[in-house]
Structure 1
Amino acid sequence: MKKSLVAVSVIVILGAAWTGAAWYTGKQFEQRMGEMVANANSQIQTYLPKAGIKLVYQDYQRNIFSSKVRYVLQADPAAKGEKALKEGDEIAFIETIDHGPFPFAQLKKFNLIPSMASVHSELENTPAVKGLFEITKGKSLINADSRISYSGDTSSTVNIIPVDFQKNASKLQFGGATFDVDIAKDLSKISFDGSSNSLIVTSQNQWGQLEKISLSDLSMSSNTSKGKFQLGMGDQKITAKQVAINVDGKDSAVLEGFSLNSTFGEDDKNIHGQFDYTLDALKIQGNDFGSGKLSIKVDRIDGAALKQFSDVYNQQAMQLLQQGEQIDPAVYQQEMADILVQNLPLLLKGGPVISVNPLSWKNAKGESSFTLQVDLNAPQPNQAPAQTEDQLISQWLKKVDATLIIPVPMATEIATQSGKLQGYSAEEAQKLAEQQVQGLAAMGQMFKLTTLKDDAIRSSFHYADNQVELNGQKMTLQEFAGLFGLLGAPSAPEEVQPDEPESVPVPAQ
């Protein structure tokens, strides 16, 4: 009897403690809502300054173990110009909050990690999103389940439901998507990983044909954190198994194995980064046009100067934006360009290096490649403003190296495939392609832009200290500009007149 009484007493004490803790954490959550909304509005101002919207919370109802609240996106009365939402329109999320330390929603998943709250979010059917709920047959397109730790960090699983909707000749088929998102309280770290297996959009084009665009096996991931210069550093990746365009039941173009990877990091002074693009195959009307890749690197970007550039540029752009409809769109574009040019010297402070290594395209007959490295000059103290375009180039450019190699068989193969698309037979397309590539090579040599060596069209360019070397021929920057009428210089007289172009065969009917 005494043991039973002790057990009941323990249960009562634990229950009372849980109830008190749940009530207390619910109160803590309520006190932090203002901070979370303020952070969200700060991000809206940073990334969507022209939207003219803000986030508010309404109708908060706090109970012991759970609460409810509406988060609402609405027009910002203080914003000027055209807004994304009309006055009175709302995009609202209904949030059901299970209080910690052991939210019921987490216990259902056998997650016993103490947390402040577990939040389930769904889109509310308001007039502003009425059309969206018609597409989803009355269901919330987006729902999310989030765990908020006592530190304020958030871990969420966001689901976008599948959609199958048709109106007249237009049709949307979406297989749904899932994203796992982790966000630090102060937004210093953000990571997400998401995927969707299919998206198909069918519509009628301007010629009355049914055009279908399909995307399969899309995935996205990102892992970024604020570095010492308060700028986002980290990795991002996007991949898609296939993107296809189909017109009236026939494949027009297919892109296979697309990927984009980006990486940014920093040292004590500089920021460096790299973008890598790859495409495994491009097929147009069943013809294989090959595969490609592109790698772009940036280095020696002064971190403090980049942060200063970002702050100043954003501040000036916001001031211009606040003028709203009072400024002509053409004037707005020009002033935005002027702001960029005025602040550009900040980006040159570290003497940045930009390189393309390589840009390449490959098919069954070979691989073309283009490489480029540009070393920029850091602005010098008390530097006199440039008076001419060539002086400006000398001030900004320290060194340029570029190399282009196009194998003749590879170029002929691309031209042959293009000829087939135009209706030529295989034999006619091959003959025409050979003529076109030979003509291109001859023209490049005539204008001294390219050479022909080892059955490849080649070009090399080097610039440093106001001197240019083009395919082994040395000249000053001004002489180089004179060859092509650049920088206001007159074109050099033509030494050789091109022959009359050969007649082009007409495809058989």
Structure 2
Amino acid sequence: MKKSAGIAVGALVAVAAIGTGGAWYTGQQLPAVLDASIKQANAEMAKTLPALGLDASIELLSLDRQFFSSNARYRIKFNGSLDGEAPQQLEWIITDRIEHGPFPLSRLKALKLMPVMATSNYALESNPALEKWFAASKGVSPVEGQASLGYDQSVSGTLRINPLQSALDEDTSLDFTGLNVDFDTSAGAKAIEAQGLMDSFKLSTKLPESGEAMSIEFKGMTLDSQTAKGSSDFYLGKNEVKLQTVQIQVGEGAPVQLNGFVQRDETSETDGKLFARYSYDIGMINYQGHDIGGSQMVWSMKNLDASALQSLVAIYSQIIKDSGQLQQASLEAEDDLPQLSEEQQAQLMAGLDKLLAAKPGIALEKLAFKTANGESSLSLSVDLNKPESFELPPPELAKQLIAQLDAKVSVSKAMIGDVIGLQASLGGETDKEAVAQQASMMTEMASGMALSTELAKLEGDSIVSSLHYADDKVDFNGKQMTVEEFVAMAFASGAGMGGMGAMGEEEQSMEGVEFEEQGEETLVE
């Protein structure tokens, strides 16, 4: 027993010695580590933010070193605008209590026993410019968090934006339950993972013209991000944001509610070319207690030459920095835009040539709306080529620039019926048989008008129109023709539809009268 007790005491003494020695070592290394981290952060921001019209920098104001902990203060200077208004200059002070490793007390209390170099406990410091923000957070620092630096230079921690309740002005108020983000980054932030949670965010205001009250509320947000730097220095990977509901209300009217909103993006790199895909889904749109339908939008890009894109971003950033106008330059009148030098123009054209030489493509893969009985969709894709010269006449330039174009519209007859039936129900119509008859009549009328002009054809229960262009030839709904023939046909069909539209309105008016008379007869019976 005495031997076991002696071993235990010896182990505790050894751990205490390691902790004390480690704390002393961290205290000695801390100034160099902080200096390197700040330089790296400033370099990254200087490389990426100017293209967004922003400029920011971090500096260490003070560092009070003690044996087991240190106190630091940082200043963040911000210049620019994200909302199109005049550039703003802001200055934030961050206070930081740094616990020295290898076993910071806060981590031991949380049963996190993995040794780390240091743990940072940071918070935004109050100043006169931030008084309203601190008041909205009930005096608590609006932004705070914790980050632990590993011996391999990885960083893990939590960022918290605390709950806010504030009247922004006499017409606008904000109610925010806060946002928590957990993150892990590898050395040099080459790989980043983040997960976030938010309960609700509600903004209430008044419309400027009518003075009606309007509110928009986001509930149940989660975010998941897994990205890493590729060989081109762009962050690649997956990001996902989900919202349980988005509710929009104007005046005393019924709210519009979007359920199950999901935004996803995925980027990858192969042989120096970037590929990206972005999707936006709404599970169900609800209005006045009626489920209207769901929607989906998917965009994609392919064959983006990574080095050319990186070069164009760098050139654009430099132009904006040289102009001294940041993002405002792109929002002002054309005469006020920065003038490019011949060298800058040559650099831009060289980057654009290289980008087009990779044959990039952009596609709206799907824009769809789905009701209970049908789905309608639109798709459009364009593949580009490098033209011989940008000085060519516009028709010839377009011919060389567009390698191929595909477009397709598919309208479900069943979905048309669902929409017309819903409109009747929202208008107070309760006779289901009459609603169904009216929906069927309007659906067949729309179908007949589209098919009679040969702008569409019927495929199953859908009205479909498709277009393929390549090599100066057009395939429209399966018919081969030249571009000139297609343009002439489109104009002729458009004129025909205009005449039929006028006839259709008159017929619809007469059929509406007949529909009403039939309804009256039914009521009499």
Alignment: residue pair count:
493
Amino acid at match of 1:351: K
- Looking at structure 2, the residues matched to 75 and 494 of structure 1 have their Cα atoms a distance apart, in angstroms, of 56
- Looking at structure 1, the residues matched to 23 and 370 of structure 2 have their Cα atoms a distance apart, in angstroms, of 62
Q: 1:314 to 1:449 in 2, by over 3 A?
A: farther
The answer to whether the aligner puts 1:345 opposite 2:347 as a matched pair is no
Please state whether the residue corresponding to 2:316 is helix, strand or coil. Answer: helix
What pairs up with 1:468-479 in 2 under 5 angstroms? 468-479=474-485
1:108-161 CA-partner distances (Å, limit 9, x unpaired): 222222211101011111112111011111111121011011232211111222
- Looking at structure 2, the residues matched to 16 and 476 of structure 1 have their Cα atoms a distance apart, in angstroms, of 85
Contact 1:242 1:255 in 2 (8 A): yes
2:321 corresponds to which of 287, 298, 318: 318
Contact 1:298 1:354 in 2 (8 A): yes
- Looking at structure 2, the residues matched to 455 and 326 of structure 1 have their Cα atoms a distance apart, in angstroms, of 51
User: 1:488 is matched with which residue?
Assistant: none
Contact 1:37 1:55 in 2 (8 A): yes
User: 1:177 is matched with which residue?
Assistant: 179
Please state whether the residue corresponding to 2:130 is helix, strand or coil. Answer: helix
- Looking at structure 2, the residues matched to 493 and 222 of structure 1 have their Cα atoms a distance apart, in angstroms, of 47
- Looking at structure 2, the residues matched to 278 and 336 of structure 1 have their Cα atoms a distance apart, in angstroms, of 41
Contact 1:280 1:292 in 2 (8 A): yes
User: 2:294 is matched with which residue?
Assistant: 291
Please state whether the residue corresponding to 1:251 is helix, strand or coil. Answer: coil
- Looking at structure 2, the residues matched to 257 and 326 of structure 1 have their Cα atoms a distance apart, in angstroms, of 38
Please state whether the residue corresponding to 1:32 is helix, strand or coil. Answer: helix
The answer to whether the aligner puts 1:450 opposite 2:456 as a matched pair is yes
Q: 1:247 to 1:6 in 2, by over 3 A?
A: closer
User: 2:373 is matched with which residue?
Assistant: 365
Deviation at 1:482, TM superposition (A): 4.2
Deviation at 1:252, TM superposition (A): 2.2
Please state whether the residue corresponding to 1:101 is helix, strand or coil. Answer: coil
Amino acid at match of 1:402: A
Q: 1:29 to 1:393 in 2, by over 3 A?
A: same
Q: 1:393 to 1:439 in 2, by over 3 A?
A: farther
- Looking at structure 1, the residues matched to 36 and 431 of structure 2 have their Cα atoms a distance apart, in angstroms, of 68
TM-score (norm 2): 0.81
User: 2:401 is matched with which residue?
Assistant: 396
Amino acid at match of 2:131: K
- Looking at structure 1, the residues matched to 326 and 144 of structure 2 have their Cα atoms a distance apart, in angstroms, of 37
Q: 1:161 to 1:388 in 2, by over 3 A?
A: same
Please state whether the residue corresponding to 2:260 is helix, strand or coil. Answer: strand
Greater alpha carbon shift after TM alignment, 439-448 vs 134-143: 439-448
Deviation at 1:269, TM superposition (A): 3.6
2:243 corresponds to which of 240, 244, 247: 240
- Looking at structure 1, the residues matched to 230 and 411 of structure 2 have their Cα atoms a distance apart, in angstroms, of 41
Please state whether the residue corresponding to 2:188 is helix, strand or coil. Answer: coil
- Looking at structure 1, the residues matched to 16 and 166 of structure 2 have their Cα atoms a distance apart, in angstroms, of 49
Deviation at 1:94, TM superposition (A): 0.9
Q: 1:144 to 1:375 in 2, by over 3 A?
A: same
- Looking at structure 2, the residues matched to 212 and 327 of structure 1 have their Cα atoms a distance apart, in angstroms, of 31
The answer to whether the aligner puts 1:117 opposite 2:149 as a matched pair is no
1:206-242 CA-partner distances (Å, limit 9, x unpaired): 4344333221110111111111122111111011111
User: 1:187 is matched with which residue?
Assistant: 189
- Looking at structure 2, the residues matched to 376 and 324 of structure 1 have their Cα atoms a distance apart, in angstroms, of 28
- Looking at structure 2, the residues matched to 105 and 475 of structure 1 have their Cα atoms a distance apart, in angstroms, of 74
The answer to whether the aligner puts 1:222 opposite 2:225 as a matched pair is yes
- Looking at structure 1, the residues matched to 328 and 273 of structure 2 have their Cα atoms a distance apart, in angstroms, of 39
The answer to whether the aligner puts 1:84 opposite 2:88 as a matched pair is yes
- Looking at structure 2, the residues matched to 429 and 69 of structure 1 have their Cα atoms a distance apart, in angstroms, of 71
Deviation at 1:299, TM superposition (A): 2.6
Deviation at 1:24, TM superposition (A): 2.2
Amino acid at match of 1:387: L
1:247-294 CA-partner distances (Å, limit 9, x unpaired): 456532110101111111122343222222211101233333211223
- Looking at structure 1, the residues matched to 78 and 440 of structure 2 have their Cα atoms a distance apart, in angstroms, of 61
Contact 2:232 2:272 in 1 (8 A): no
Amino acid at match of 2:271: D
The answer to whether the aligner puts 1:35 opposite 2:36 as a matched pair is yes
What pairs up with 1:21-420 in 2 under 5 angstroms? 21-49=22-50, 50-74=53-77, 83-85=87-89, 90-165=91-166, 170-206=172-208, 207-248=210-251, 250-321=253-324, 329-331=332-334, 342=349, 343-377=351-385, 379=386, 383-385=388-390, 387-418=392-423
- Looking at structure 2, the residues matched to 144 and 332 of structure 1 have their Cα atoms a distance apart, in angstroms, of 45
Identity of aligned residues (%): 26
Deviation at 1:187, TM superposition (A): 2.4
Q: 1:429 to 1:131 in 2, by over 3 A?
A: farther
Please state whether the residue corresponding to 2:255 is helix, strand or coil. Answer: strand
Q: In angstroms, what is the RMSD of aligned CA positions?
A: 3.8
Contact 2:330 2:337 in 1 (8 A): no
- Looking at structure 2, the residues matched to 468 and 152 of structure 1 have their Cα atoms a distance apart, in angstroms, of 58
Amino acid at match of 1:163: L
1:472-504 CA-partner distances (Å, limit 9, x unpaired): 33221233334457xxxxx89956843433265
Deviation at 1:43, TM superposition (A): 3.7
Contact 1:371 1:402 in 2 (8 A): yes
1:391-422 CA-partner distances (Å, limit 9, x unpaired): 12221222222222112231232244346556
Greater alpha carbon shift after TM alignment, 102-111 vs 325-334: 325-334
Greater alpha carbon shift after TM alignment, 268-277 vs 215-224: 268-277
- Looking at structure 1, the residues matched to 330 and 356 of structure 2 have their Cα atoms a distance apart, in angstroms, of 31
- Looking at structure 2, the residues matched to 406 and 341 of structure 1 have their Cα atoms a distance apart, in angstroms, of 42
- Looking at structure 1, the residues matched to 327 and 178 of structure 2 have their Cα atoms a distance apart, in angstroms, of 38
- Looking at structure 2, the residues matched to 235 and 332 of structure 1 have their Cα atoms a distance apart, in angstroms, of 40
Please state whether the residue corresponding to 1:329 is helix, strand or coil. Answer: coil
Deviation at 1:70, TM superposition (A): 1.3
- Looking at structure 1, the residues matched to 465 and 12 of structure 2 have their Cα atoms a distance apart, in angstroms, of 83
Contact 2:467 2:475 in 1 (8 A): yes
TM-score (norm 1): 0.84
Q: 1:149 to 1:399 in 2, by over 3 A?
A: same
Q: 1:62 to 1:264 in 2, by over 3 A?
A: same
Q: 1:99 to 1:135 in 2, by over 3 A?
A: same
- Looking at structure 1, the residues matched to 259 and 331 of structure 2 have their Cα atoms a distance apart, in angstroms, of 43
User: 2:519 is matched with which residue?
Assistant: none
- Looking at structure 2, the residues matched to 433 and 5 of structure 1 have their Cα atoms a distance apart, in angstroms, of 89
Amino acid at match of 1:197: D
* Greater helix fraction, Structure 1 or Structure 2: 2
Contact 1:198 1:218 in 2 (8 A): yes
Amino acid at match of 1:239: K
Please state whether the residue corresponding to 1:351 is helix, strand or coil. Answer: coil
Structure 1: segments with no counterpart, 5+ residues: 486-490
Contact 2:320 2:329 in 1 (8 A): no
1:466 corresponds to which of 462, 466, 472: 472
